[in-house]
Amino acid sequence: MCGIAGYSLSPKSSVDRTLAAQALLAGIAERGADAAGYAYRAQGDGRVRGHKQRSGASALLETVELPPEASEALLHVRDYTKGHPTIEANNHPIRHGAVVGIHNGIIFNDEEILDRYGFERAQPEMTVDSEAIFALAEHTEGRAGPLQELRGSMACAWLDERRPDLVFVVRGVGRPLWIGAGRHERFFASTPQTLELVERYTGVRLRKREVREGTLVALSRGREAWTERFRPDRRFEERQLPAVRAPDEGASCLQRLAAIATA
């Protein structure tokens, strides 16, 4: 069980980019403490930059910093299943070629996918199953159909350096995903409570909805550019995990966020 979150903002949005990212990170902090990280797209050159570390979100929250012009961001906390967090490349956000992504869930046929397409690991020491998602995304340039080949649970999102102004947000099966829509903003997160936290600290009112299973949503400049449907492979069994894996991380981050917002 992991936590994912992020946003797509219009240039017209007055939301503080760093504070919004911190609110999202604090909201998902309770879902994992093995690693935490974030990524954002820099304006001008279109490159995706970010940071990840082997810690809970509480050790990262106060150092999160995004430039005022950053209009797309991804955030992640990890409760690992495959790919030990002592290997930095296994932690999220994960880069495969031009794609940088985050994932909540577990893919059971990742090695099969990598072999079938002849994908090489981005780094030789990587073993994380999530890389199969982003290898497919890079190869197919974000089309929804090939995601049907993945077997396992999945809620994920990614940025593609070849596709400026776009954030791809996907829900397969077995993991939650919510979108919150403002006038010039689109936020997404594993839980609606995280979106409520964004409302509290940014002052933006959001219309919230749960993303349907088997849906890809492309976000662009604070709006939904298009939606694609696909049929996720449900032929897998997975033991149930509690949604709250690191309650102390969640409590600590909420206290720190309150202090940051009043500083």
The whole-number pLDDT of residue 103 equals: 98
The whole-number pLDDT of residue 239 equals: 74
Is the pLDDT confidence value at 148 over 90?
Answer: yes
Contacts of 36 (CB under 8 A, 6+ apart): 25, 29, 52, 53, 55, 56, 57, 59, 60, 76, 77, 78
Is the pLDDT confidence value at 150 over 90?
Answer: yes
Is the pLDDT confidence value at 241 over 80?
Answer: no
Q: How far from each other are the two terminal CA atoms of the chain, in whole angstroms?
A: 33
pLDDT (tens digit per residue) in 212-224:
999 999 999 999 9
Spell out the domain ranges in the chain: 3-262
CA distance 210 to 100: 23
Nearest to 129 by CA among 90, 166, 159: 90
Q: Are 149 and 233 in contact (CB under 8 A)?
A: yes
CA distance 230 to 251: 37
CA distance 38 to 50: 5
3-262 is a CATH 3.60.20.10 domain: yes
CA distance 234 to 174: 9
DSSP-based three-state secondary structure for 2 = coil
pLDDT (tens digit per residue) in 77-105:
999 889 999 999 999 999 999 999 999 99
